Each structure stands twice: as C-alpha cells, then as structure tokens.
Amino acid sequence: MRFVVVALVIALAVGVNVLVKRRNATAPTQGDAQLPTQLDRADFVRTDAPWLVVAFTSSSCNTCADVERKVRVLESPPVGVHVAEYVADRALHTKYSIDAVPAVVIADHRGVVRAAFLGPVSATDLWAALARVRDGGEAACDHQSN
C-alpha cells in the first residue's frame, strides 16, 4: 500500500512540475530592431543641409525626451535635425520600419545612414559620431538597447 501512495505522490509531483513549466515558458526571443540604412531626404527637413540627424521618438517614451533634447543641439547650418514623433509622423515610422524608440540616425546628403543609435544615447556619443562621419571617418552603427 505504501508503494502505491508513494507512486501516486511522485506521479502527481511530476504532473504539477510539467504544468508549471508550461505555464512559465519563456517568451520567444525578440529579434534586433533594424534601423534604416537609407533615407529619402525629401521626407525630412533641410534637404539642402549636407547632414541630417533624425530622431524617431514617441511621446509615451520617457527616454525619448532626453534624446530629443540632445539631438536638437546638433542643429546648425550644415546639419538639419528632424524629430519624428510617432503620433505626428507615424507615416515615417511606418515607411522606415521603426519599431523601437528612441532611434537616431545620421545621414549624409544622399540619405545614406552613416551612424545609428537605438535606445538612450549620450550627447558625447552623438557629437562624436557626427564629427567622425563629417570628417570622412567610417560609418558608425552603435545599436544600443533600452
């Protein structure tokens, strides 16, 4: 009789363990968000500027306001700055498949993205990336996550 009770308890424990593992299964891994490698300069401000910095943001994103402030400081005669807020510029987010914010891209006069950042970014990193690409340095894609 003890053997039957022990067997039932073990079977019950195994069954509960299987149910708990199914219920607590980890979510599928999310792929890395992709940032555009080419922009149509006609979609953005200052088509005459040799450089364009675009910040894709959302008003519901706390980090986006900080990134927007840092990007706006880059505005100058050779650098156009465009902040594409999700609600106001949803078409741009859709066209360029932006599915994570904040995202910042730096494009040249042809719209080729030369540097990109995903997630929070420091002012120092933004300035350095812009200086590097303006000086003919290699493209920089510093994809960071939130």
**Residue 29 counted as domain residue:** no
**Residue 14 counted as domain residue:** no
Using omega within 30 degrees of 0 as the cis cutoff, is the peptide bond preceding 102 cis? yes
What is the mean pLDDT of each successive set of 10 residues along the chain, which is 146 residues long?
68 67 52 85 96 96 95 96 96 94 96 95 95 78 48
Burial class of 63 by CB neighbour count within 10 A (0 to 12, 13 to 18, 19+)? middle
Half-sphere exposure of 32 (CA within 13 A, CB side): 9
CATH classification of the domain holding 61: 3.40.30.10
Q: How many domains does the chain have?
A: 1
Range of the domain at 104: 41-143
**Residue 129 counted as domain residue:** yes
Q: State the residue for tokens 């894709």.
A: 56
Q: Residue 98: which of 71, 69, 134, 61 has the closest Cα?
A: 61
**Residue 15 counted as domain residue:** no
Q: What is the pLDDT of residue 2?
A: 72
Q: Report yes or no: 54 and 39 within 8 Å, Cβ to Cβ.
A: yes
